[in-house]
Structure 1
Amino acid sequence: MSVENLKTYLERAIEDGHARLAGEGKKERIHYIATNHSERWSDPEEKIRAEFWAELIYKYEYDPRRIKFEVRVPRRTPNDVADLVIYKDEECKEPYFVFEAKRSDISDAEFAQSIEQACGNRASLGSPFCGAIAGLTRRLLRFDKFPPGERERNHLTDIPKRYGNPPQWRFYKNKSGQDLSAVSRDKLRSAIRKCHQTLWEGGRRSPIAAFGEFCKIVFVKHRDEKNDDRQDADPYDFQRRDGESSDELAKRIFKLYATEQEREPGVFTDPINVEPPVLAQVVEHLEGISLDRTELDTKGVAFEEFMGGFFKGDFGQYFTPRELIAFSIEVLNPERKQLVLDPACGSGGFLLYALDHIRREANRRYPNHKTDSRQGISHYKHWHDFAERNLFGIEINEELARVAKMNMIIHDDGHTNIVGHDALDFLTKLTAIKPELVPGKFDLILTNPPFGSVVKGTEKGDGYLDQFDLRRYLNKSTTGTEPDESAQGERDAKRGANAVKARTSIKTEILFIERVWSYLKPGEGRAAIVLPDGILTNSSLQGVRNWMLSHFQILAVVSLPQFAFAYYDAGVKASIVFLRRLQDGEILPNDTPIFMALAENIGYDATGRKTFNVTVESEIPEKEKVERQSCDLFDYRVYFEWSKVNPKEPGWSERHREIIPDTGLVAQWREFQRDPTPFFV
C-alpha cells in the first residue's frame, strides 16, 4: 500500500492546499480555502465535517468551490443553517445535496433529529438530496422522485460521484475506492456501542438480550465478508440497497442468517428477533466496517473493553477479569496440539487468551508471515487449526454461549466447539451433543465456575447428583441449606467417603472440581480453576480436600485479594488453583512441593481502576508510546497510538499489549518448576 493511500482524505486536502490549520490549543482553527470559511478546530462536530468534506472532494470528486459551509436556510428559524451544501453550478445558486454533520457518539434519537433537520433544510433550499453523517453512520435520502414526507422507500445507498447516477450499492468486493475497510479500535468500539444502544431500544430488551441479538447480526456480517462465492466487484449483501425499504432489507438479512443456520445448525438456533427499522439502523452502523480486514488486536481490545463494561453489574458473575485469565494461560503455557476446555466458558475469555497465546507462538515461528506467502500459509494454519479443532467451551446460559460463539467468530474462529448446555449434566448427554467432549481426553482445562449456587437433586432429576463421587465426601454444611453438625460433622469429613451420608444438594463449585477431573487426561491433564477460599480452608470441607488430594496433584495455589471480583459485583475471596490429574493408582509422596503465592497488586483495584506500576519505555509525543506495566502477576508491554477521536480529550489509545515472558509470579513459578528447593529455605 502506498503512502498516498495511507493518508486520510483530510490530510490530503491540507497537503493540497484546500484547507489549513492555524493556531494552537483552544484557539486552533481550520480554514477552508476555496470558500474562505473557518471554524474552531476543537469542536468535535467540526472534525467529522472536515473529514467528510475532504471525502466529498477526493472520493466523490466534487469541486471544493461548490461546497459551502453554514448555509443560511430560508423560511426556517432565522439562525438555522445547513452544515454542508453541494451546489450544481459555479455561482452556487442551485443546491444539489444538503448534509448535517454530527458527533460520532450521538444517540439514535439525536441522529433521527439530525435526519429531520437535514430534510427540513433540503425542502427549504430546494435540493433533491440530503443526508446526515455521524462518524461511520450515515443516512442519505432522495426526493427527486419522492414526496417530502417519505423516509423509507427513498433510501439512497451512496452519494453520486460528480453529479452522476446514484449507485445501486455502496460497497463492492475488491473494487477500488468502494470496498470495505479496516477501522481503528475507537471507531469499532463506537460502532459496537451504537449497535447495542439501538438493539437495547431504551430498555425494551435487557442488555444481555440486546447483546444476544447483536451477536446474531455480527455472525451474518462476518459470514457475508467471508463468502467465497462472491466474485471481485460484486456487491456485499450486508448493506442497504438503493431504494430498499427496511422491511425488504430485513427480509434479505433474515434469509442470509437462515442460510448460515442451515450450514452450521449448532451455532445459533433461534431466529433474529429484531424489528426491520431497528435492524436497518444496526446495518447502518456496521455496513462500512470490514471485520475481516480489521486487525485481530484491534477487534480483540474493542470487544473486550465493551464486554468488560457490559458484564459489570447484573452479569458480573459471568466475567473473569482478563489479568487473571492471562496469568493462568501463562502458567499452563498451552501448546498448539493440546486440547483445551472451559466447562463454564461465559463469554469465552479463557479460550480466546489460549488462542492468542498460540498466535503469538506463530508470530515467533514465522516472523515474515506478512511478506512471505509460504510463511503466511504456515502461520495461518499454525493458529487457525488450533482455533478450529482444539478449543472447546461449555456454557449453561444460552445467551452467553452465543456471546462466546460471536467472540470466537470475531477472532477467527472455533465457534462451532462452543456448546450451550449444562456442563454438570450426564457425561453421555454432553458427548451426544458434541462427540468430541470425551471424558479423559483434554490436556488443559481453564475455568472460573459459578460460585455459591446450590444444585438440588430434586430439581435436576434422578441420578443427576449420583454421578458425582464427591457427594459422598461432604457433610451437611456444604449444601448451604442445612446447619453444620459441628465437631461430629468435621470428624465425619476427615474420615472420608464411607462415613458421610450422600447429600441431596451440593454447591456448584464443588461439583465442577469433579467435572474438571473427569475431562482431564489421566496423568497428564492440567487445570487452572478459580475456587472460593472456603474450599481450601473451611474445616467442614476437609472431605472435599481429601478427595482432591487423592485425585489431583496440587501444583500451585495463588491467593487473590478480597476485591479480585468486587468490580463485577462478586466479592467472594478466591484463589487460582493449578492441578494435575493423577494417573489411576498414582500416589504422591507427602512432601511433594506445592507453589503457593499471594498476589496483592493484580493490576486493578475494587473499583476497576488500573493499578499497574508504569514505566515509559519509549515515546514520540502525540504519535506513539510504549509502556511497561507491572503487577504481582506479570509485566505487560503496551503499545499506544495518539487518538483524536474525542476532540475534547485527545490522548493515547491502546493498540496492542503483550505479556513480557518470565516476569512477576510467572517467573517465580518457572523457577519453582526448575528447582523448588530454595522456596522452602
Structure 2
Amino acid sequence: MANDLERRREIGQFFTPPLVAGFVWDMLEAIHGGRFPAKTRVIDPACGEGVFLREAAPRGKFAADRLFGIDIDETLAAVWGRDPLLKAARLAVANGLLDLPDRGVQVGSFDVVVGNPPFAGKGVRDLLRLLDETDGLGVVPETDLFGALVLQERPAPLGPPLKPQDRAKLDQLAKQLGRYTCWRLGKDTDNGEVESTSATTTGDLFTGLGEKRKNGSDEFARAAGMVSAWPLNRLLDPRRTETRLLLRRLASTAIEVFFMERFLRLAKPGGLIAVIVPESILASDQLGPLRTWLLTEMDLLAVVSLPQKVFAGVGANARTSVVFARRLLRPRKADDRPAVALEPDAPEDAEDNGTGPSLLMAAPNTTAPRFNLEHYFATVLQGVREHAKRFPAEEV
C-alpha cells in the first residue's frame, strides 16, 4: 500500500472522491442548462480509475463510444475492465498530453473535457535524458513552476543508455509538447530568467492579469519554430542549441501547466471545460502570463474552491479548486479579454464588465460549525441554478 501511494505521488496522481466528481457533473449540467444529449463527446485525459466517466455514464444517456478516457498508469487497465459502467467506454493507456488520432483523440474534438489531472510529481523531467545521449551533462531542476530560462548544468554520471523505443517515445513527447504555448509564456529579464508578472498574495485567484505579457523570447520562438518544422520521422538533434533549450524548458514546466492547456486544446470551440487544479494555477506569480493567455482562449465561468483536505484520504493535502470554462469560438485579443478581479474568501459573483459572462466564485468556510461538504456543494449549485441565465447553453 505504501509503495503504491509513493508511486502515485511520483506521477502526481490523486484520485477524485465520487462526491466531488458528482458535484462537477452537476455544475456542468447547470451551466449547460440541462442534461447533455447522447451525441456529446466527453473526455477525461487523465482519468485514473475513471470516476468522472463513471459518473457521466448514467447521465444524459451518453453513447458509450462517446466517452473517452486516457491514463498513463498501466495498472489501471484491469480496474477499467472490471467496471460495468466503463467496459464500453473508449479507454487507453497512454500519455494524456498527446493526441491519439487512431483512437479518436485529437485537439478541438470534444464537447466536454473534465477531470483531475496530475500535479506535482516528476512531470516530464524524463525529457532531460535526451540530453544525456550526447554530452554526459545532467541538470538540476528548478523548484519554480517555470524555472529559469535554462536549467543550470553540472557534471553528473550518465544514466543507463536509452533503449531505442524509449528514446523514440521521449522524442515524440518533446515534439508534441513543443507545439504547446504554455512553456514559452513569461516575462523575460536581462539575465535570461523568467520574472513574475505581479506581486501576488497567496489567496488571490487570477490576479496580476492587468500586466502586459511579452510574447516568448527570441530563443523560445526559435525553439518553437524549430520543433514545428522538424520532420516527424526524424529524431530531434540534442546537439542543436534550440533543441537543448526546448528540452530544458519543457522539463522545467510543471505537469499541471501542460494539462491546463491540454484541457483547453481538447475542447471544441464552444465546448465546456471542468478541471481540478492546484492553487498554483490560480495564484502563482510566475503563472500570471499563463492565466492572461488562457483568458484569450476561453471564458472563465466559475471557480469553486475545495476544502484543503478533500484529497487527504488519497495522500494529498493541497489547496485545489474546480475551474469551469468555455472555449471561445475564436481567440480574442489580449486587450479584449475580460477583466477579472476576484476575492475568493466569500462565495460571491464577480462583477460583469460586459465583455464576457459573469464569474461565479465560491470558497468553503471550513471553520464554520458542522461544516458539511455536501451542503457546501448544494449551496453552490443552488446559486448557479438561480443564475442560470449567466451561463447560456451551447449546442453540442
Q: Is the 8 A contact 1:312 1:567 kept in 2?
A: no
1:518 equivalent among 265, 276, 281: 265
Q: Are positions 1:509 and 2:256 aligned together?
A: yes
- For 1:592-631, list aligned pairs within 5 A: 592=356, 593-600=358-365, 612=372, 630-631=374-375
Moved more, 452-461 or 501-510: 452-461
- SS of match in other structure, 1:668: helix
1:553 aligns with 2:302: no
Match of 2:381 among 666, 669, 679: 666
Matches of 2:274 and 2:57, distance apart in 1: 16
Read off the aligned partner of 1:673 and give its amino acid letter: A
SS of the aligned residue for 2:361 comes to strand
SS in 1 for 2:308: coil
For 2:303 and 2:86, the matched residues in 1 are separated by 33
Q: How does 1:568-583 map to 2 (within 5 A)?
A: 568-583=314-329
Task: Quote the Cα distance in structure 2 between the aligned partners of 1:585 and 1:312.
Answer: 36
Match of 1:128 in 2: none
Partner SS, residue 216 of structure 2:
helix
What count of residue pairs does the alignment treat as equivalent?
A: 280
Residues 1:442 and 2:79 aligned together? no
- Give the whole-Å Cα distance in 1 for the aligned partners of 2:219 and 2:182: 11
Give the letter for the 1:514 counterpart.
E
Task: Please report how far the alpha carbon of residue 413 of structure 1 lies from its aligned counterpart in structure 2 after TM superposition.
Answer: 3.8
Tell me if the contact between 2:42 and 2:113 (Cα under 8 Å) persists in the aligned partners: yes
Q: How do 1:528-543 and structure 2 match up within 5 A?
A: 528-543=274-289
Q: Is the aligned partner of 1:472 residue 2:184? A: yes
Matched letter for residue 387 of structure 2: F
Q: Residue type matched to 1:392 in 2?
A: F
After superposition, residues 23-172 of structure 1 pair within 5 angstroms as: none
2:110 is paired with a residue whose SS is: coil
SS of the equivalent of 2:108 reads coil
Q: Does 1:418 align with 2:91?
A: yes
Task: Give me the whole-angstrom Cα distance separating, in 1, the residues matched to 2:8 and 2:79.
Answer: 15
Distance in 2 (alpha carbons) for counterparts of 1:667 and 1:327: 12
Alignment equivalent of 1:338, drawn from 17, 26, 40: 40
Distance 1:489 1:501 in 2: 26
Query: For residue 508 of structure 1, what is the amino acid of its counterpart?
Result: I
Instruction: Indicate yes or no: 2:184 matched with 1:497.
Output: no
Structure 1 length normalisation: TM-score?
0.37
Distance 1:548 1:485, change over 3 A: closer
Alpha-carbon distance between aligned partners in 1 of 2:86 and 2:360, rounded to the nearest angstrom: 35
**Identical-pair percentage:** 30
Letter in 1 for 2:216: N
Cα deviation for residue 345 of structure 1 reads 0.2
Counterpart secondary structure, 1:440: coil
Inter-CA distance 538–441: structure 2 relative to 1 (3 Å threshold): same
**C-alpha distance after superposition, 1:63-96 (max 9, x if no partner):** xxxxxxxxxxxxxxxxxxxxxxxxxxxxxxxxxx
Conservation of the 8 A alpha-carbon contact between 1:343 and 1:447:
yes
Would you say the 8 A contact 1:343–1:394 is kept in 2? yes
Q: Counterpart of 2:124?
A: 455
Preserved contact between residue 451 and residue 508 of structure 1 (Cα < 8 Å): yes
Change (3 A) 1:387 1:531: same
The 1:564–1:388 alpha-carbon spacing in structure 2 relative to 1, beyond 3 Å, is: same
Q: Work out which of the residue numbers 388, 413, 431 in structure 1 matches 2:101.
A: 431
Q: Deviations over 1:127-182 (max 9, x none)?
A: xxxxxxxxxxxxxxxxxxxxxxxxxxxxxxxxxxxxxxxxxxxxxxxxxxxxxxxx
Supply the distance in 1 between the matched residues of 2:198 and 2:76 (Cα, whole angstroms). Answer: 42
After superposition, the C-alpha distances for 1:509-543 in whole angstroms (9 at most, x for unaligned) are 11111111121111x20011001111111111111
1:317 aligns with 2:13: yes
Shift of 1:421: 0.2
* Secondary structure in structure 2 of the residue aligned to 1:444: strand
TM-score relative to the length of structure 2 = 0.62
Equivalents in 2 of 1:496, 1:421: separation in Å? Answer: 34
RMSD of equivalent CA atoms: 3.6
**Cα separation, partners in 2 of 1:501 and 1:568, compared to 1, 3 Å:** farther
Instruction: From the superposition, tell whether residues 472 and 601 of structure 1 become closer, same or farther in structure 2 (CA, over 3 Å).
Output: same
What is the aligned partner in structure 1 of residue 67 from structure 2? 391
Partners of 1:206 and 1:535 lie apart in 2 by 29
Offset of residue 355 of structure 1: 1.0
Q: Which 10-residue stretch deviates more, 317-326 or 497-506?
A: 497-506
Q: Distance in 2 between matches of 1:551 and 1:413?
A: 34
Q: Determine the structure 2 residue equivalent to 1:284.
A: none
Counterpart in the other structure of 2:376: 632
Q: Please, which runs of 5 or more residues in structure 1 have no aligned partner?
A: 1-202, 209-310, 359-382, 477-481, 603-609, 614-629, 635-663, 677-681
Following superposition, the deviation at residue 356 of structure 1 comes to 2.4
Do the aligned residues in 1 keep the contact of 2:80 with 2:86 (CA within 8 Å)?
Answer: no
Q: Which has the higher contact order (CA 8 A, sep 6+)?
A: 2
Which is richer in helix? 1
Letter matched to residue 69 of structure 2: G
CA distance in 2, matches of 1:390, 1:464: 25
CA contact (8 A) 1:387 1:414 kept: no
Write the distance in 2 (CA, Å) between the matches of 1:577 and 1:488.
Answer: 22
Counterpart of 1:594 in structure 2: which amino acid?
Answer: L
Q: Deviations over 1:321-370 (max 9, x none)?
A: 11211111001125122111000000000001011223xxxxxxxxxxxx
Q: Does the residue aligned with 1:525 lie in a helix, a strand or coil?
A: strand
Match for residue 347 of structure 1? 49
Q: Deviations over 1:31-84 (max 9, x none)?
A: xxxxxxxxxxxxxxxxxxxxxxxxxxxxxxxxxxxxxxxxxxxxxxxxxxxxxx
Larger radius of gyration: 1
Instruction: Give the C-alpha shift of residue 583 in structure 1.
Output: 1.2
In structure 2, the CA distance between the partners of 1:488 and 1:393, relative to structure 1 (3 Å rule), is: closer
For the residues of structure 2 that align with 1:572 and 1:485, how far apart are their CA atoms?
25
Distance 1:320 1:354 in 2: 14
- Are 1:329 and 2:25 counterparts? yes
User: Alpha-carbon deviation of 1:314?
Assistant: 9.4
Q: Is the 8 A contact 1:554 1:594 kept in 2?
A: yes
Partner SS for 1:633: helix
